[in-house]
A and B are shown apart, each in its own frame.
Chain A
Amino acid sequence: MSTSITRAPRPSGLADVLDVVLDKGIVIDAYIRVSLVGIELLTIDARIVIASVDTYLRFAEAVGRLDLQPSEQVAGLPGLMDNMREGGARKKTKGALTGAKESFKETFGIGGGDDRENEQEEQDEREEQPAERSRGRSAPASRRAPERG
């Protein structure tokens, strides 16, 4: 006997509703359509692109958590790791790469990372921020393209 599962008639969230109906279905001659520029922008803003670096750091933290034995932990380390995780999540909206690096720097600032590495990261951040912003704007639109139906 399997668990009964609820089948929802449609997605509950507005972003997911738009994902279903926007640019999907029969497309009638272009001149008869209204401009949906405002809605296009809304969906792009609703989908925050998470940079792969941030993803990798989250996975690294997750593996690290698994391997930490409570008896070997120095006092405060779990809280430190949690802070790092929360900081990373909080800053996703600010810019995935920036958020990930800042949370990393915060951790090292508390835990004793070397200054040279932090300076290098700040320089990387200055160099990479503009590229990351432009990627954040363009990626969702390109991701939607193959889903046209």
Chain B
Amino acid sequence: MVLLVHGIVRSEDADLVDVRVPDGLRPRGVIGGLLAAVVSPAPDRDLTADDAAPHLDLLVAVVAQGLSVLPVSFGTVAPDDDAVRDEVLAPEADALERRLDAVAGLVELRLDLTFDTDASVAAARDADPTLREMAERARQPGAGFSEKLALGEATAMRVAEHQEALVEEWTGELEDLAERSAVLHGDEQLRRIAYLVRRDRLDDADAAVGRMQDALGDRARIEYIGPLPVFSFLESLDVRREPAPTSRWGW
């Protein structure tokens, strides 16, 4: 039976006891050495976008249970249990174990900041009097496309600077308590940031985002997501093994 591979956990977590399994999935663990792959029977058809949600839901449920999991790229399939052991777990077992160690106790949080365009433009206009003059010129008889475009370009630049400053101010507390952060997307309306946070600091992160909500008022809307498995920092995490000390004093 063809299997969908969702993630990799430690072998002792392979029974997935207490994990809230999404409807329609029948996941189980395939153990190989110290690792286990979380798999489920693949549908008897091509995968569609709708299959992405249960895949993510299962990984989120594993994280919610307090387990460490390496998410496997969506769409990964294997023909049977032996292939999972031989092709997925065995070849990179050492590297996978180190990565699991690296993500232990860590989760990913995501923050989407959606800006109110009118509020951003008003703030940018107030900060730069030349925008008002350009707007005046653009309204004059005879003014055309180029005046309007120049006004828009100058405004877009000021808006970007203004939003950058706001994001830095609003997210400062979250940046401080996160182990790492990464901007995943940024344009004049949406800023999507991922934070790598220790599990034991989730409450602090929630409180920081609550204060952020108070601070931003109507200027932006927050969407706050997590805890997710570590997706955005897998490559950058330090997965080197600590070298064994050569003597009891470490040299």
State the A residues within 8 Å of B (CB): 2-11, 14, 17-18, 20-29, 32-34, 36, 38-39, 42-43, 52-53, 55-60, 62-67, 104, 113, 117, 121, 143, 147-149
Contacts and interface: CB of A to CB of B under 8 A. Distances in A.
B109 to A, nearest CB: 8
Contacts of B67: none
Given A5-B222, A25-B231, A28-B72, A58 B152 contact: yes
Which label, helix, strand, loop or mixed, suits the secondary structure of the A interface?
helix
Contacts of A43: 49
- Most chain A C-beta atoms within 10 Å of own C-beta, residue among B91, B110, B118: B110
B164 to A, nearest CB: 16
B75 A57 contact: no
B49 A58 contact: no
A87 B153 CA distance: 20
Nearest to B202: A7
Contacts of B228: 10, 20
Interface of B: 5, 7-8, 46-50, 52-53, 55-57, 60, 64, 70-78, 83, 87-88, 91, 96, 99, 109-110, 117-118, 121-122, 125, 131-132, 134-136, 138-139, 144-145, 148-149, 151-153, 155-156, 159, 184-185, 188, 206-207, 209-211, 213-214, 222-229, 231-235
B162 to A, nearest CB: 12
A59 B138 CA distance: 13
Contacts of A60: 135, 138, 148-149, 151-152, 155
